[in-house]
Structure 1
């Protein structure tokens, strides 16, 4: 493995075993190494074992499981020691940054108090030294160091500020290893860029190492110099970032790359067929075989070993040579058949003019004008707080406060409040929320949830006729018909989002408002949902208003784009024109802060990392 010295982190044959009637391993025989100054990107779909491995690095395993193997951090064994020693190591030798910092902070304590609690109790000069250390780290994470900031409570900080406080908190005791659990999921690109820069600077200045857990390969491309890919509780590939993103040796890793949108070019996004295999259901062969288009009989009969396929490159596959021959991203089409750009002559289905929206006396939207052409996809882009969701709620009739301006749909004027709209207005505009679990009634079956619009708008007939229509809708969004008997809690995040789409489609809408619907999904599920929406756009002439802060998604699916900044439209036009030739400084800044996989191999430092020899790992 490449690095700047001796291995800071050494993971040897680590497994996590579930003590059940039929015992099984949710994490199986993982070995890897990391040096000071390195950042390892840990990627894979939900349920692949990423979080289990990251918690194991802290010497923690969930109740009912048994952790075995060896984990050494800076020469100190983490597993073969007492629980007291492990607790002492946490925060000092190894620390953890959670995905949601608000859940890790005490809402009743000020920020300064919580930072000081991380350090040993002190008086006099030691206390002054502690405060100096806190100020030093707050400055490093680009936060105010004054007393006023320290006296704030967690709810008085933005999401990006909270995340940077949690990073400073994790670094206070100068740990040698920091585990980051998807710390930028849900953040806009500008805030994400600042957090990633902060992490890179701290790892370098503190001569530490980091494990960065994520499902976003564009983030991996901007921060990690090595990548480990997990599937069904096993390490299936480990190599340099540049090598993985351009010449992956495992078919699963390659499909993850193909499912990730590019910010620099419009290319076809390809989902991964089938569903991820649970570690409990691993058979005698390759766990990925059922989803792999390159499988042979040996793949289902014999489990592959993790073998060296190049300098610093290991993969668990019988057909690594064939995979690498097909892995070059240059072979992927620079277009998407389902999302092929539409000509600019399409008539406007929705027009907004002079829209102003308020929360109390605070104005959120300022004279917003836009139009969505029928059968096309308009991307609404901006940072958190720019007014994207407020605008979407206004046009859906869900904004509870004052709204002014004009809205026209299919050449008909539409009132703002939903209660004043006709049944036709309500039916033709459907909203898909960012959080599907929060928008689905947990006490209703999937069949009843999808049938609700059918009953509301008198569609789909009665009895068996309505039930057949529900099953058709489930099949349309690639869900088995028997899911009608399940409840939302029994589905994965991607499956719940498909149910939300099916419910919206049940109303036979002309316009679908998609509010960050893929922001927390695995890239493979995201690609599958986008493929589905693209097919519906082709077959039903569906019109989409797609709210996102992901520039790669905009490049992949949008015909037109509107950029919002603090409630003002600062740029609009054909998506490819705006992305290739932005004119507003705010748009230019957004694009410059957007991480991209395409920049990895063009960076000489990245190429040097990719060429480094690796140390052998047992």
Structure 2
């Protein structure tokens, strides 16, 4: 498609139009995003996918005429409802942002003011303050699945769970009925049931209000079910684009195929395969195809000059010389779905555990975690999953009952536990900023953690680099500050920080929710390998049922702070007995099903 075609698209509809977008470093030395073009008609949804660091969030933020610190928009055009965002004054931009285009961030804490009640924050998002009636505000909360709206509106953000905070952020984005919405991984913190409800809401609201949506995500099952169009980004460029069915069913670019081979399945345990290697540094991109170093199909011509855009079929464009020259395959089912090791004496035992956040949120929890096994904890948002994990790690001291590590009782607070007990139980947070000092490099954070908990044993530079490499980070990440890494890279660094302490139990609180599917698969491979090699035990808090099926030997299902079902993962998920388990399985997104049920609508052709 030519630029004149793009211009005619602009005239034919409002929505979102991006033409030849270029985002560079502040010095202009390295292109972070280059040559990005696409159009999203009112009422339709574009899924922008790619690995962490591919530039998808940078491209998305340009819709708001915004670039993160250290970057600047160097060229191109961004039109929202026919208004050229890059030509507006600061005052005009303030009027557009939050009214004609809204934003749902990945971390809801960045969208919510900690010192204001949610009623005030939600009311401020409405176009007309006179509309801020109880009825209108209650309806907004009900739309995103939040019960007891009167209590929610009177609460402060910290009084809600992460998933509840994210639903508030989504309600705030739809409140002014904007022309366009940028959603950056908006459902990563949600349980599958709430995610399903919110996705239905997003599609219904997009159609009802004729809102054009750019949905940035690494969850290809969600994108398959939600998006009309899909653009796959790699190294700052769109490498494949078209309708969701064209891109995700045919997946003609080798990179798209690699992403699909890492997607888990809630109905069976799969051998998930991550993508080896790393995307090139923006300052040192090769002269040819940026993906060539990681591509099994690459030939000399691929390395010498960048590929041109090839049209596979009308509306389906692929940037690859060897388009479609490989057989597309899905991940293989595990020959032995779960590690077949004998039950050992419990490493960790919980009995009669009750916990409080003002009110009681956990009731009579009893579980055993055997050495070398992974126990998954699943349940809807607010069911008590994170509270349980924090009690075990000593990060939530308001509990009663008994927690024992190899038979020795653990004190409620981490400050009351010995250094050895702290070393043996390491916690990896959902938000990596909770475990990384923003004023220290990643290498320094790992060094401090290792020295503090491993005592006098020296932590070498090579050991730090090996820990980073084990979670898929290049050596240069050791000298980077957290703010210089993407969200997925920061999470991998947080995992490395826990592993360098050589723990016996790794408490993983939604640690892959911020990761793209390829890195998620790499982390699963890593954790399964550590289980086999070191006998590492894990408590794996997650809402991704497919991922749980591929990593956990045991599972417990929480509902309203109580265990409603537990047992071997394959048995529980294949034949659930509790209604809550059956509901979670029913609502789990499935890649193939998403493509089959996605409704066909007239959409603007994709432009790359």
TM-score normalised by the chain length of structure 1 = 0.83
Query: Could you say what secondary structure the match of 1:601 adopts?
Result: helix
Shift of 1:285: 1.0
Corresponding position of 1:103: 110
**Residue pair 1:352, 1:368 contacting (<8 A) in 2 also:** no
Superposed, 1:56-455 pairs within 5 Å as: 56-61=62-67, 65-79=72-86, 86-118=93-125, 127=130, 137=140, 140-141=143-144, 154=157, 159-160=162-163, 162-322=165-325, 325-329=326-330, 332-335=331-334, 340-343=337-340, 345-350=342-347, 352-359=349-356, 362-405=359-402, 407=404, 409=406, 412-417=407-412, 425=421, 427-441=423-437, 449-450=445-446
CA-CA distance at 1:215 after TM superposition: 2.0
How many residue pairs get matched? Answer: 598
Q: How many angstroms apart in 2 are the aligned matches of 1:85 and 1:189?
A: 39
Most deviating of 450-459 and 195-204: 450-459
Does the CA contact (< 8 Å) of 1:454 and 1:460 recur in 2? no
State whether structure 2 residue 58 is matched by structure 1 residue 55: no
- Out of 31-40 and 437-446, give the one that drifted further: 437-446
Aligned to 1:598: 592
Unaligned runs of 5+ in 1: none
Taking a change above 3 Å as real, the CA distance of residues 561 and 344 of structure 1, as seen in their structure-2 partners, is farther
Structure 2 distance, partners of 1:585, 1:575, is 16
Render the CA deviation track for 1:306-354: whole Å, top value 9, x for unaligned. 22112321111111121xx42242xx311288xx512374224335253
Is residue 561 of structure 1 aligned with residue 555 of structure 2?
Answer: yes
CA–CA separation in structure 2 for the residues paired with 1:427 and 1:78? 51
Superposition deviation, residue 436 in structure 1: 3.8
Flag the 1:83–1:563 CA change in 2: closer, same or farther, 3 A: same
CA deviations 1:376-424 (Å, max 9, x no partner) are 2221222333233333333344542343136362xx3434456776776
C-alpha separation in 2, matches of 1:527 and 1:261:
8
Judge which range, 448-457 or 280-289, deviates more: 448-457
CA contact (8 A) 1:38 1:225 kept: yes
The offset of 1:245, in angstroms, is 2.7
In the alignment, is residue 519 of structure 1 matched against residue 534 of structure 2?
no
Find out whether 1:578 has 2:572 as its counterpart. yes
Written as runs of structure 1 = structure 2, the 5 A alignment for 1:490-505 is 493-494=487-488, 496-505=490-499
Once the two structures are TM-superposed, the CA of residue 248 in structure 1 deviates from its matched residue by 0.8
| 1:42 alignment partner, SS class | strand
Cα distance in structure 1, aligned partners of 2:461 and 2:125: 57
Whether the 8 Å contact between 1:381 and 1:548 is mirrored in structure 2 is yes
SS at 2:427 equivalent: strand
- Report SS of the residue matched to 1:390: helix
Tell me if the contact between 2:261 and 2:329 (Cα under 8 Å) persists in the aligned partners: no
SS of residue matched to 1:57: helix
Most deviating of 174-183 and 450-459: 450-459
Q: Displacement, 1:565? A: 1.9
Match of 2:42 in 1: 36
Task: Note the C-alpha offset of 1:372.
Answer: 2.5
Q: Deviations over 1:181-220 (max 9, x none)?
A: 2222222223322322221221122133211112222221
Residues in 2 aligned to 1:32 and 1:167: alpha-carbon distance in whole angstroms: 24
C-alpha deviation, 1:267, in angstroms: 1.4
- Looking at structure 2, the residues matched to 393 and 12 of structure 1 have their Cα atoms a distance apart, in angstroms, of 44
- Structure 1 range deviating more: 9-18 or 24-33: 9-18
In structure 2, distance between residues paired with 1:415 and 1:168: 41
Q: Offset at 1:297? A: 0.9
8 Å contact kept, 2:53–2:486: no
Closer, same or farther: CA 296–181 of 1 in aligned 2, 3 Å: same
Q: 1:37 to 1:497 in 2, by over 3 A?
A: closer
Using the alignment, how far apart are the partners of 2:480 and 2:276 within structure 1?
Answer: 22
Shift in Å, 1:366 = 2.1
The one-character-per-residue Cα deviations of 1:38-94 (angstroms, maximum 9, x if unpaired) are: 111111223322223223323445576245333444444444566655554444543
> SS of 1:403's equivalent?
strand
Q: Structure 2: which 5+ runs fail to align?
A: 2-8
Q: Find the residue that maps to 1:264 and give its secondary structure.
A: coil
**Separation in structure 2 between the aligned mates of residue 184 and residue 587 of structure 1, nearest angstrom:** 20
- Shift in alpha-carbon separation, 1:500–1:50, aligned structure 2, 3 A: closer
1:268-305 deviation line (CA, Å, top 9, x unaligned) = 21112222234443332112222222211111111112
Against the structure 1 CA distance between its residues 301 and 62, is the aligned structure 2 distance closer, same or farther, given a 3 Å change threshold? same
- Deviation, 1:600, is 2.0
2:534: which partner in 1?
540
Q: Is the 8 A contact 1:459 1:507 kept in 2?
A: no
Local SS of the residue matching 1:287: coil
Structure 1 residue 558: Cα displacement: 1.2
Distance in 1 (CA, whole Å) between partners of 2:489 and 2:78 is 36
Q: Counterparts of 1:422 and 1:116 in 2: how far apart (Å)? A: 48
Q: Distance in 2 between matches of 1:258 and 1:60?
A: 34
Structure of greater Rg: 1
Q: SS of the counterpart of 2:273?
A: coil
CA contact (8 A) 1:188 1:549 kept: yes
